[in-house]
Amino acid sequence: MGKKTVWIVWMLGVLLLSVYYSFRLFASDDQEAFLIGPATHGHHQIELACGSCHTSPFGGGEVLQSACVDCHGDELRAADDSHPKAKFTDPRNADRLQQLDARQCVTCHREHQLEQTGTMGVTLPQDYCFLCHQDIAQDRPSHQGMAFDTCASAGCHNYHDNQALYEDFLIKSAGEPALKTIAAVVQRSGPALKHPHHVLGKALAAADADGSATGDSILTDWLGSAHARAGVNCSGCHAASPAATEPQTAPIPWTDSPTIATCQGCHAAETDTFYQGKHGMRLAPGLSRTLPPMTPAQGRLTFNPDAAHRELTCASCHAPHSVDLRQAAVESCLNCHADEHSRAFKESPHFKLWQAEQAGTAAPGSGVSCATCHLPRETHAPNGTQRVLVNHNQNANLRPNEKMIRSVCQNCHGLAFAIDALADPQLIQTNFASAPARHIESIDMALRRDGDSAAAETETPNHAQP
Protein backbone atom coordinates (compact mmCIF):
# COMPACT_ATOMS: atom_id res chain seq x y z
CA MET A 1 0.00 0.00 0.00
CA GLY A 2 1.49 3.29 -1.09
CA LYS A 3 1.87 6.35 1.10
CA LYS A 4 -0.84 8.14 -0.80
CA THR A 5 -3.33 5.36 -0.11
CA VAL A 6 -2.46 5.37 3.57
CA TRP A 7 -3.08 9.10 3.75
CA ILE A 8 -6.40 8.80 1.99
CA VAL A 9 -7.54 5.96 4.27
CA TRP A 10 -6.43 7.88 7.33
CA MET A 11 -8.21 11.06 6.24
CA LEU A 12 -11.36 9.17 5.36
CA GLY A 13 -11.25 7.46 8.74
CA VAL A 14 -10.89 10.77 10.55
CA LEU A 15 -13.68 12.26 8.49
CA LEU A 16 -16.04 9.37 9.17
CA LEU A 17 -15.30 9.44 12.89
CA SER A 18 -15.85 13.19 12.98
CA VAL A 19 -19.18 12.87 11.22
CA TYR A 20 -20.22 10.00 13.50
CA TYR A 21 -19.39 11.76 16.76
CA SER A 22 -20.75 15.09 15.55
CA PHE A 23 -24.02 13.41 14.69
CA ARG A 24 -24.10 11.71 18.08
CA LEU A 25 -23.29 14.94 19.88
CA PHE A 26 -25.50 17.41 18.07
CA ALA A 27 -28.22 15.54 16.22
CA SER A 28 -28.93 12.38 18.20
CA ASP A 29 -30.47 11.68 21.57
CA ASP A 30 -28.21 8.66 21.99
CA GLN A 31 -25.00 9.88 23.60
CA GLU A 32 -23.81 6.51 24.87
CA ALA A 33 -20.76 6.79 22.63
CA PHE A 34 -19.43 9.51 24.95
CA LEU A 35 -19.88 7.54 28.16
CA ILE A 36 -16.35 7.12 29.51
CA GLY A 37 -17.37 4.46 32.01
CA PRO A 38 -20.44 3.21 33.86
CA ALA A 39 -21.76 5.63 36.46
CA THR A 40 -22.19 4.81 40.14
CA HIS A 41 -25.24 3.14 41.67
CA GLY A 42 -26.68 6.55 42.41
CA HIS A 43 -26.37 7.98 38.92
CA HIS A 44 -26.39 5.17 36.38
CA GLN A 45 -30.12 5.59 35.86
CA ILE A 46 -29.49 9.01 34.32
CA GLU A 47 -26.00 8.50 32.93
CA LEU A 48 -27.22 9.09 29.40
CA ALA A 49 -28.64 12.48 30.32
CA CYS A 50 -25.08 13.79 30.23
CA GLY A 51 -26.08 17.43 30.37
CA SER A 52 -27.75 16.96 33.75
CA CYS A 53 -24.30 16.99 35.38
CA HIS A 54 -22.15 18.36 32.56
CA THR A 55 -24.32 21.42 32.34
CA SER A 56 -21.91 23.43 30.22
CA PRO A 57 -19.29 22.47 27.66
CA PHE A 58 -17.16 25.29 29.03
CA GLY A 59 -15.76 25.63 32.50
CA GLY A 60 -14.14 23.10 34.76
CA GLY A 61 -14.80 21.57 38.14
CA GLU A 62 -17.11 24.39 39.18
CA VAL A 63 -19.65 23.19 36.61
CA LEU A 64 -19.73 19.71 38.10
CA GLN A 65 -19.71 21.07 41.65
CA SER A 66 -22.69 23.21 40.86
CA ALA A 67 -24.54 20.20 39.43
CA CYS A 68 -23.80 18.17 42.58
CA VAL A 69 -25.07 20.93 44.84
CA ASP A 70 -28.16 21.56 42.73
CA CYS A 71 -29.38 18.01 43.38
CA HIS A 72 -27.83 17.16 46.76
CA GLY A 73 -27.44 20.56 48.45
CA ASP A 74 -30.81 20.61 50.17
CA GLU A 75 -30.31 17.10 51.49
CA LEU A 76 -26.92 18.02 52.95
CA ARG A 77 -28.28 21.14 54.58
CA ALA A 78 -31.19 19.19 56.05
CA ALA A 79 -28.72 16.67 57.46
CA ASP A 80 -26.70 19.46 59.10
CA ASP A 81 -23.68 18.35 57.07
CA SER A 82 -20.72 17.77 59.39
CA HIS A 83 -18.22 18.75 56.69
CA PRO A 84 -19.77 21.55 54.63
CA LYS A 85 -17.65 23.22 51.98
CA ALA A 86 -17.64 26.43 54.00
CA LYS A 87 -15.51 24.77 56.66
CA PHE A 88 -12.73 24.21 54.16
CA THR A 89 -12.65 27.50 52.30
CA ASP A 90 -11.04 29.22 55.28
CA PRO A 91 -7.39 29.83 54.29
CA ARG A 92 -6.24 28.37 57.62
CA ASN A 93 -7.06 24.96 56.14
CA ALA A 94 -4.92 25.49 53.03
CA ASP A 95 -2.45 22.81 54.10
CA ARG A 96 -5.27 20.33 54.63
CA LEU A 97 -6.71 21.05 51.21
CA GLN A 98 -3.41 20.05 49.65
CA GLN A 99 -4.02 16.58 51.07
CA LEU A 100 -7.76 16.42 50.52
CA ASP A 101 -9.64 19.14 48.68
CA ALA A 102 -12.86 18.74 50.63
CA ARG A 103 -14.36 21.79 48.91
CA GLN A 104 -15.18 19.70 45.85
CA CYS A 105 -17.62 16.77 45.92
CA VAL A 106 -15.66 15.00 43.18
CA THR A 107 -12.58 14.76 45.39
CA CYS A 108 -14.29 11.87 47.18
CA HIS A 109 -17.05 10.98 44.72
CA ARG A 110 -15.55 10.55 41.26
CA GLU A 111 -18.00 9.44 38.62
CA HIS A 112 -17.60 6.89 35.81
CA GLN A 113 -15.04 4.90 37.84
CA LEU A 114 -17.28 2.15 39.04
CA GLU A 115 -14.47 -0.31 39.66
CA GLN A 116 -12.96 2.08 42.22
CA THR A 117 -16.24 3.07 43.82
CA GLY A 118 -16.91 1.90 47.36
CA THR A 119 -19.87 2.31 49.67
CA MET A 120 -21.57 5.70 49.67
CA GLY A 121 -20.14 6.29 46.21
CA VAL A 122 -16.73 7.08 47.69
CA THR A 123 -13.78 6.61 45.37
CA LEU A 124 -11.06 7.43 47.91
CA PRO A 125 -9.08 4.91 49.95
CA GLN A 126 -10.71 4.40 53.34
CA ASP A 127 -8.13 6.42 55.26
CA TYR A 128 -9.58 9.81 54.33
CA CYS A 129 -10.60 10.61 57.93
CA PHE A 130 -7.05 10.03 59.06
CA LEU A 131 -5.73 12.87 56.88
CA CYS A 132 -7.18 15.51 59.22
CA HIS A 133 -7.98 13.58 62.39
CA GLN A 134 -4.87 11.44 62.88
CA ASP A 135 -4.28 12.99 66.31
CA ILE A 136 -7.81 12.32 67.58
CA ALA A 137 -6.48 10.10 70.38
CA GLN A 138 -4.94 13.18 72.04
CA ASP A 139 -8.43 14.61 72.48
CA ARG A 140 -10.23 11.27 72.80
CA PRO A 141 -7.98 8.74 74.56
CA SER A 142 -10.65 6.09 74.00
CA HIS A 143 -9.79 6.24 70.29
CA GLN A 144 -6.18 5.24 70.89
CA GLY A 145 -5.17 2.39 68.63
CA MET A 146 -8.28 2.40 66.47
CA ALA A 147 -7.59 1.51 62.86
CA PHE A 148 -7.60 4.29 60.29
CA ASP A 149 -10.47 2.75 58.37
CA THR A 150 -12.87 2.24 61.28
CA CYS A 151 -14.18 5.78 61.74
CA ALA A 152 -16.87 5.63 59.08
CA SER A 153 -17.27 1.88 58.79
CA ALA A 154 -18.11 0.84 62.33
CA GLY A 155 -21.44 2.54 62.95
CA CYS A 156 -19.75 5.42 64.78
CA HIS A 157 -19.29 8.36 62.41
CA ASN A 158 -20.39 9.53 59.00
CA TYR A 159 -18.71 12.18 56.93
CA HIS A 160 -21.90 14.13 56.21
CA ASP A 161 -24.82 12.99 58.35
CA ASN A 162 -24.35 12.40 62.05
CA GLN A 163 -27.80 13.35 63.24
CA ALA A 164 -28.25 10.00 64.99
CA LEU A 165 -24.62 9.60 66.01
CA TYR A 166 -23.51 12.82 67.67
CA GLU A 167 -22.27 12.44 71.21
CA ASP A 168 -25.00 14.24 73.12
CA PHE A 169 -27.67 12.35 71.19
CA LEU A 170 -25.99 9.07 72.08
CA ILE A 171 -26.02 10.03 75.75
CA LYS A 172 -29.61 11.28 75.64
CA SER A 173 -30.80 8.04 74.01
CA ALA A 174 -28.57 5.69 75.99
CA GLY A 175 -31.23 4.22 78.23
CA GLU A 176 -33.70 3.29 75.53
CA PRO A 177 -34.80 -0.37 75.52
CA ALA A 178 -34.28 -2.58 72.49
CA LEU A 179 -38.03 -2.55 71.92
CA LYS A 180 -40.05 0.40 73.13
CA THR A 181 -43.30 0.00 75.06
CA ILE A 182 -45.22 1.88 72.42
CA ALA A 183 -43.77 0.68 69.14
CA ALA A 184 -45.57 2.26 66.22
CA VAL A 185 -45.08 4.74 63.43
CA VAL A 186 -46.96 8.00 63.28
CA GLN A 187 -50.23 8.00 61.31
CA ARG A 188 -50.37 9.78 57.95
CA SER A 189 -52.18 13.07 57.80
CA GLY A 190 -55.77 12.98 56.62
CA PRO A 191 -56.72 14.36 53.21
CA ALA A 192 -57.43 17.87 54.43
CA LEU A 193 -53.92 18.26 55.79
CA LYS A 194 -52.33 16.23 53.03
CA HIS A 195 -53.88 18.40 50.35
CA PRO A 196 -54.11 21.82 51.98
CA HIS A 197 -54.44 23.60 48.64
CA HIS A 198 -57.29 21.50 47.24
CA VAL A 199 -60.97 21.66 48.07
CA LEU A 200 -62.12 18.12 48.76
CA GLY A 201 -65.58 17.03 47.71
CA LYS A 202 -68.07 14.71 49.33
CA ALA A 203 -67.62 10.95 49.08
CA LEU A 204 -68.80 9.61 45.74
CA ALA A 205 -71.02 6.63 44.95
CA ALA A 206 -71.29 4.46 41.83
CA ALA A 207 -74.02 6.69 40.38
CA ASP A 208 -71.68 9.68 40.60
CA ALA A 209 -68.95 8.17 38.40
CA ASP A 210 -68.44 10.30 35.30
CA GLY A 211 -66.34 7.77 33.41
CA SER A 212 -67.39 4.95 31.12
CA ALA A 213 -66.01 2.01 33.15
CA THR A 214 -69.25 0.96 34.75
CA GLY A 215 -69.97 -2.43 36.19
CA ASP A 216 -66.46 -3.78 36.13
CA SER A 217 -63.61 -4.12 38.57
CA ILE A 218 -62.36 -0.62 37.81
CA LEU A 219 -65.52 0.85 39.24
CA THR A 220 -65.39 -1.47 42.24
CA ASP A 221 -61.76 -0.63 42.91
CA TRP A 222 -62.43 3.08 42.61
CA LEU A 223 -65.45 2.95 44.93
CA GLY A 224 -63.27 1.43 47.63
CA SER A 225 -60.47 3.91 47.16
CA ALA A 226 -59.45 7.01 49.03
CA HIS A 227 -60.05 8.90 45.79
CA ALA A 228 -63.78 8.14 45.79
CA ARG A 229 -63.99 8.93 49.49
CA ALA A 230 -62.33 12.29 48.89
CA GLY A 231 -64.64 13.17 46.01
CA VAL A 232 -62.14 12.59 43.20
CA ASN A 233 -64.19 11.43 40.23
CA CYS A 234 -62.96 9.59 37.12
CA SER A 235 -62.47 12.89 35.34
CA GLY A 236 -60.34 14.08 38.23
CA CYS A 237 -57.50 11.99 36.80
CA HIS A 238 -58.59 11.11 33.27
CA ALA A 239 -59.53 14.65 32.29
CA ALA A 240 -57.38 16.62 34.66
CA SER A 241 -55.77 19.94 33.97
CA PRO A 242 -51.98 19.67 33.87
CA ALA A 243 -51.90 22.77 36.04
CA ALA A 244 -54.78 22.39 38.44
CA THR A 245 -54.47 25.92 39.72
CA GLU A 246 -55.20 27.55 36.36
CA PRO A 247 -58.81 28.20 35.36
CA GLN A 248 -59.83 26.12 32.34
CA THR A 249 -61.52 27.76 29.37
CA ALA A 250 -62.03 24.59 27.33
CA PRO A 251 -62.94 21.00 28.24
CA ILE A 252 -59.96 18.83 29.06
CA PRO A 253 -59.64 15.90 26.64
CA TRP A 254 -60.10 12.47 28.17
CA THR A 255 -57.01 10.29 28.50
CA ASP A 256 -57.01 6.59 29.31
CA SER A 257 -53.51 6.75 30.78
CA PRO A 258 -52.95 9.71 33.06
CA THR A 259 -49.29 10.57 33.52
CA ILE A 260 -47.29 11.38 36.62
CA ALA A 261 -48.05 15.04 35.98
CA THR A 262 -51.69 14.28 36.78
CA CYS A 263 -50.75 12.67 40.09
CA GLN A 264 -48.49 15.61 40.83
CA GLY A 265 -51.44 17.97 40.63
CA CYS A 266 -52.63 16.75 44.03
CA HIS A 267 -49.63 14.78 45.33
CA ALA A 268 -46.83 17.29 44.81
CA ALA A 269 -44.77 16.31 47.85
CA GLU A 270 -44.94 12.62 46.96
CA THR A 271 -43.95 13.11 43.32
CA ASP A 272 -41.20 15.55 44.20
CA THR A 273 -39.56 12.97 46.43
CA PHE A 274 -40.26 10.19 43.87
CA TYR A 275 -38.22 12.16 41.34
CA GLN A 276 -35.30 12.28 43.78
CA GLY A 277 -34.97 8.52 44.23
CA LYS A 278 -33.79 5.72 42.00
CA HIS A 279 -37.36 4.81 41.12
CA GLY A 280 -38.28 8.15 39.62
CA MET A 281 -35.10 10.05 38.81
CA ARG A 282 -35.31 9.20 35.11
CA LEU A 283 -38.58 11.14 35.02
CA ALA A 284 -37.32 14.16 36.95
CA PRO A 285 -38.25 17.40 35.20
CA GLY A 286 -34.76 18.88 35.48
CA LEU A 287 -32.94 16.30 33.35
CA SER A 288 -31.14 17.48 30.25
CA ARG A 289 -33.08 15.06 28.07
CA THR A 290 -36.25 13.04 28.38
CA LEU A 291 -35.72 9.45 29.45
CA PRO A 292 -38.22 6.62 29.55
CA PRO A 293 -39.14 5.34 33.04
CA MET A 294 -36.80 3.11 35.00
CA THR A 295 -37.27 -0.65 34.66
CA PRO A 296 -35.88 -3.45 36.82
CA ALA A 297 -33.92 -4.63 33.78
CA GLN A 298 -31.84 -1.49 34.07
CA GLY A 299 -31.29 -1.86 37.82
CA ARG A 300 -28.23 -3.33 39.51
CA LEU A 301 -29.98 -5.28 42.26
CA THR A 302 -31.55 -8.70 41.88
CA PHE A 303 -35.06 -8.54 40.46
CA ASN A 304 -37.77 -10.98 39.44
CA PRO A 305 -37.17 -11.83 35.79
CA ASP A 306 -40.89 -11.53 35.15
CA ALA A 307 -40.75 -7.89 36.18
CA ALA A 308 -37.70 -6.98 34.14
CA HIS A 309 -39.49 -4.66 31.78
CA ARG A 310 -42.09 -3.13 34.06
CA GLU A 311 -41.87 0.65 33.93
CA LEU A 312 -41.69 2.59 37.15
CA THR A 313 -44.30 5.30 37.50
CA CYS A 314 -46.78 6.08 40.26
CA ALA A 315 -49.18 3.45 38.88
CA SER A 316 -46.52 0.74 39.05
CA CYS A 317 -46.80 0.54 42.83
CA HIS A 318 -50.18 2.16 43.40
CA ALA A 319 -52.78 0.18 41.47
CA PRO A 320 -54.32 3.22 39.84
CA HIS A 321 -57.97 2.61 40.68
CA SER A 322 -57.83 0.96 44.06
CA VAL A 323 -54.76 3.00 45.17
CA ASP A 324 -54.42 0.33 47.84
CA LEU A 325 -51.70 1.56 50.15
CA ARG A 326 -51.31 -1.86 51.78
CA GLN A 327 -50.43 -3.39 48.44
CA ALA A 328 -48.08 -0.51 47.69
CA ALA A 329 -46.35 -1.07 51.02
CA VAL A 330 -45.32 -4.70 50.48
CA GLU A 331 -46.53 -6.61 47.42
CA SER A 332 -45.69 -3.88 44.95
CA CYS A 333 -42.10 -3.93 46.20
CA LEU A 334 -41.78 -7.71 46.15
CA ASN A 335 -43.24 -7.94 42.68
CA CYS A 336 -39.91 -6.58 41.44
CA HIS A 337 -37.29 -6.83 44.20
CA ALA A 338 -35.87 -10.34 44.66
CA ASP A 339 -32.56 -9.77 46.45
CA GLU A 340 -31.80 -11.68 49.65
CA HIS A 341 -33.02 -8.92 51.96
CA SER A 342 -36.32 -8.62 50.08
CA ARG A 343 -36.89 -12.36 49.82
CA ALA A 344 -36.29 -12.74 53.55
CA PHE A 345 -38.91 -10.16 54.48
CA LYS A 346 -41.87 -12.50 54.70
CA GLU A 347 -40.00 -14.65 57.20
CA SER A 348 -39.08 -11.70 59.39
CA PRO A 349 -40.55 -10.53 62.71
CA HIS A 350 -41.33 -7.23 61.00
CA PHE A 351 -43.64 -8.95 58.52
CA LYS A 352 -45.43 -10.82 61.31
CA LEU A 353 -46.19 -7.48 62.91
CA TRP A 354 -47.45 -6.23 59.55
CA GLN A 355 -49.76 -9.22 59.20
CA ALA A 356 -51.06 -8.71 62.72
CA GLU A 357 -51.86 -5.07 62.04
CA GLN A 358 -53.62 -5.93 58.77
CA ALA A 359 -55.62 -8.62 60.58
CA GLY A 360 -56.70 -6.09 63.16
CA THR A 361 -55.04 -7.90 66.03
CA ALA A 362 -52.35 -5.29 66.58
CA ALA A 363 -52.45 -1.54 67.01
CA PRO A 364 -52.51 0.77 63.98
CA GLY A 365 -48.97 1.71 63.01
CA SER A 366 -47.39 -1.26 64.76
CA GLY A 367 -46.87 -3.29 61.58
CA VAL A 368 -43.65 -2.99 59.62
CA SER A 369 -43.83 -3.16 55.85
CA CYS A 370 -41.16 -2.49 53.22
CA ALA A 371 -42.52 1.04 53.02
CA THR A 372 -42.31 1.58 56.77
CA CYS A 373 -38.53 1.65 56.51
CA HIS A 374 -37.88 2.59 52.90
CA LEU A 375 -40.68 5.09 52.29
CA PRO A 376 -40.89 6.61 55.76
CA ARG A 377 -43.57 8.87 57.08
CA GLU A 378 -42.08 12.26 57.81
CA THR A 379 -43.49 15.09 59.82
CA HIS A 380 -43.42 18.53 58.24
CA ALA A 381 -44.58 21.64 59.97
CA PRO A 382 -44.64 24.53 57.52
CA ASN A 383 -46.21 27.60 59.10
CA GLY A 384 -46.85 25.66 62.28
CA THR A 385 -49.27 23.15 60.71
CA GLN A 386 -48.05 19.62 61.20
CA ARG A 387 -48.37 17.32 58.19
CA VAL A 388 -47.23 13.70 58.03
CA LEU A 389 -46.26 12.74 54.49
CA VAL A 390 -44.60 9.73 52.92
CA ASN A 391 -41.14 10.35 51.51
CA HIS A 392 -41.17 8.58 48.14
CA ASN A 393 -37.38 8.79 47.72
CA GLN A 394 -36.65 5.28 48.94
CA ASN A 395 -32.92 5.97 48.84
CA ALA A 396 -32.99 9.03 51.06
CA ASN A 397 -32.40 7.16 54.31
CA LEU A 398 -29.99 4.57 52.92
CA ARG A 399 -27.01 6.82 52.26
CA PRO A 400 -25.76 5.83 54.86
CA ASN A 401 -28.27 3.57 56.57
CA GLU A 402 -27.86 5.34 59.94
CA LYS A 403 -30.02 8.04 58.36
CA MET A 404 -33.03 5.83 59.00
CA ILE A 405 -32.38 5.54 62.72
CA ARG A 406 -34.26 8.63 63.81
CA SER A 407 -37.00 8.69 61.20
CA VAL A 408 -37.69 4.94 61.21
CA CYS A 409 -35.96 2.66 63.71
CA GLN A 410 -36.45 4.80 66.80
CA ASN A 411 -40.21 4.70 66.38
CA CYS A 412 -39.97 1.21 67.85
CA HIS A 413 -36.39 0.47 68.89
CA GLY A 414 -33.85 2.07 71.17
CA LEU A 415 -30.85 3.82 69.66
CA ALA A 416 -28.28 1.25 70.79
CA PHE A 417 -30.24 -1.62 69.27
CA ALA A 418 -30.75 0.29 66.03
CA ILE A 419 -27.06 1.18 65.69
CA ASP A 420 -26.03 -2.41 66.31
CA ALA A 421 -28.60 -3.79 63.86
CA LEU A 422 -27.71 -1.44 61.04
CA ALA A 423 -24.00 -2.10 61.47
CA ASP A 424 -24.53 -5.84 60.98
CA PRO A 425 -24.52 -6.64 57.22
CA GLN A 426 -25.54 -10.26 57.77
CA LEU A 427 -28.53 -9.22 59.83
CA ILE A 428 -29.63 -6.86 57.09
CA GLN A 429 -29.45 -9.69 54.57
CA THR A 430 -31.76 -11.84 56.71
CA ASN A 431 -34.09 -8.86 57.14
CA PHE A 432 -33.45 -8.60 60.87
CA ALA A 433 -34.49 -12.15 61.59
CA SER A 434 -32.58 -12.24 64.89
CA ALA A 435 -30.82 -10.01 67.40
CA PRO A 436 -27.72 -8.10 66.24
CA ALA A 437 -24.60 -10.23 66.42
CA ARG A 438 -22.23 -7.36 67.11
CA HIS A 439 -22.21 -4.44 69.47
CA ILE A 440 -21.09 -0.94 68.55
CA GLU A 441 -19.50 0.77 71.52
CA SER A 442 -20.23 4.37 70.62
CA ILE A 443 -22.89 4.90 73.30
CA ASP A 444 -20.75 3.16 75.93
CA MET A 445 -17.81 5.38 75.06
CA ALA A 446 -19.93 8.51 75.19
CA LEU A 447 -21.31 7.52 78.59
CA ARG A 448 -17.85 6.75 79.95
CA ARG A 449 -16.57 10.13 78.83
CA ASP A 450 -19.62 11.86 80.25
CA GLY A 451 -19.10 10.02 83.54
CA ASP A 452 -15.42 10.91 83.60
CA SER A 453 -16.27 14.54 83.00
CA ALA A 454 -18.86 14.59 85.78
CA ALA A 455 -16.40 12.93 88.14
CA ALA A 456 -13.71 15.45 87.26
CA GLU A 457 -16.19 18.25 87.87
CA THR A 458 -16.91 16.90 91.35
CA GLU A 459 -13.25 16.58 92.20
CA THR A 460 -12.12 19.93 90.84
CA PRO A 461 -15.15 22.19 90.64
CA ASN A 462 -13.21 25.29 89.64
CA HIS A 463 -10.11 23.88 88.04
CA ALA A 464 -8.29 26.51 86.04
CA GLN A 465 -5.90 25.87 83.20
CA PRO A 466 -3.66 28.50 81.71
Partner 1 sequence: MNIRSTKAKGAALTLAAIALTACTDSGKGGISPQDLTDMLHLVMESDRAVYTKQVVNRLAKDEQVIKASEHFMDEKALPLPAQMFRFGAETVAGKTDKFSYSLQSLWPINKQNAPRTDLEKTGLKFVVDNPGQNFYGEETLGDVKYFTAVYADVAVAPVCASCHNEHKDTPRKDFKIGDVMGGVVIRVPMGS
Task: Choose which of 54, 85, 110, 352 interacts with partner 1 (CB under 8 A).
Answer: 85
Binding residue (CB under 8 A) for partner 1 from 28, 89, 187, 241: 89
Residue of 115, 139, 246, 256 that binds partner 1 (CB under 8 A): 139
Judged by beta carbon, residue 24 or residue 85, the one nearer partner 1 is: 85
The piece of 5-13, 37-45, 162-170, 296-304 that touches partner 1 (CB under 8 A) is 162-170
For partner 1, the binding residue among 1, 27, 36, 86 (CB under 8 A) is 86
Three-class secondary structure of residue 421 per DSSP: helix
- Out of 2, 57, 60, 91, the only residue in the binding site for partner 1 (CB under 8 A) is 91
Distance from C-alpha of 119 to C-alpha of 155, rounded to nearest angstrom = 13
Closest separation in Å from C-beta 367 to partner 1: 28
Taking alpha carbons only, the member of 362, 255, 368, 359 closest to residue 315 is: 255
Contacts 24+ apart (CB under 8 A), 433-442: 433/344, 433/347, 433/348, 433/349, 435/178, 440/154, 440/155, 440/156, 440/416, 442/155, 442/156, 442/165, 442/170
**Based on CB atoms, which residue is closest to partner 1, 69 or 315?**
69
Least distance CB 403 / partner 1 (angstroms): 15
Under rule CB under 8 A, residue 197 binds partner 1: no
Size of the site for partner 1 (CB under 8 A): 28
The span from the CA of 335 to the CA of 323, in Å, is 16
Is 383 among the residues that bind partner 1 (CB under 8 A)?
no
Cβ distance 392 to 212 under 8 Å? no
Is 453 among the residues that bind partner 1 (CB under 8 A)?
yes
Strand partners, 387: 380
In angstroms and rounded to an integer, the radius of gyration of the C-alpha atoms of the chain is 27
Nearer to partner 1, 138 or 181 (CB): 138
CA distances from 130 to 118, 119, 149, 192, 382 (A): 17, 18, 8, 51, 40
- Report the alpha-carbon distance of residue 257 to residue 317 in Å, rounded: 15
Interface pick for partner 1 out of 57, 95, 145, 216 (rule CB under 8 A): 95
Part of the chain binding partner 1 (CB under 8 A), chosen from 116-124, 305-313, 431-439, 446-454:
446-454
Q: Which residues make up the interface to partner 1 (CB under 8 A)?
A: 80, 84-87, 89-95, 97-98, 139, 166, 168-169, 449-450, 453-454, 457, 462-466
